Homo-oligomer: A and B are copies of this chain.
Amino acid sequence: MRESTAAGCDRCGVDRLCLFGRVAGLRIRRIRTNRGTPLFRSGERVEALFAIRSGCVKEVDVSTGRDGTIVNFATAGEILSLQSLACAPSRTTAIAVESSFVCVVPWNAVNQASLSAPRITRELMQLIAKAGLEARESLALVRDKEARQRVAGFLLNMVARSQARNVSTCELRLPMNRDDIANYLGLRSETVSRCFTDLARQRLIQVKAKRVQILEECELRRIYSGA
């Protein structure tokens, strides 16, 4: 709809692609999704790359029984469907956790652009590899860790990602509800809740619904890495 370098792109993780894309004439569409609305569904062929401008989108693996498992939360500045080029139909469904603005960059446009500029190819590969590393990190987050550690790690991760784009702050707004957090961490919402109150009782954090303040980041980090 708009020019790809409109206000906010400088904080967007895809900005480099956008800049290169502008050179090659990349067309970028922006869409708005409401809470609960899917960006793409499991089984569909994903033809585009989704860059989250604002809001939060969860990627859900619906193949694993029940209501599926959340494999990733993508927040402002992050990119979705990076590994979709590997398998024709997507294995995940992407659902907005809250109202979100998303840039949609068609894959063939990206590929076009990357043909003319090898640097784009390189950036792209690094982004894909990074997405893989993040999957490994969330693996480390849930395996061998008990509930308190997982929750601590989750908070630290959210803070780090929030600080990557905002000014350094310890005030955190969690876009998703407890059930989603629990799902993502392989726990139950009750357990997550207990951990929150537990950490709050120790004065490491302060919780008020979706607002969390990190009071003792160091101590939290100590808990995460096996207190």
Cβ of A167 within 8 Å of any chain B Cβ, yes or no, is no
The number of chain A residues with a CB under 8 A from chain B is: 37
CA of A139 to CA of B71, assembled, Å: 8
Distance A86 CA – B131 CA, assembled complex (angstroms): 9
A191 at the interface (CB under 8 A from B): no
A189: CB under 8 A from chain B? no
The residues of B that contact A91 with a CB separation of less than 8 Å are 133, 136
Chain A interface secondary structure, helix, strand, loop or mixed? helix
Give A225 to B118 CA distance when docked, in angstroms: 43
Tell me the number of copies of this protein: 2
Is the C-beta of A194 less than 8 angstroms from some C-beta in chain B? no
Inter-chain CA distance A186–B145, complex, in Å, is: 9
List residues 83-135 of chain A with CB under 8 A from any CB of chain B: 83-87, 91, 114-115, 118, 121, 124-126, 128-133, 135
Q: Which chain B residues border A125 with CB–CB below 8 Å?
A: 85, 124-125, 128
B69 touches A140 (CB 8 A): yes
- A144/B86 in contact, CB under 8 A: no
Contact (Cβ within 8 A) A144 B64:
yes
- Closest chain-B Cβ to A49's Cβ sits at a distance in Å of 12
Contact surface of A with B, Cβ cutoff 8 Å: 61, 64-66, 69, 71, 82-87, 91, 114-115, 118, 121, 124-126, 128-133, 135-136, 138-140, 142-144, 186, 225-226
The 3 closest A-B pairs by CB, nearest first: A132-B132, A86-B129, A143-B186
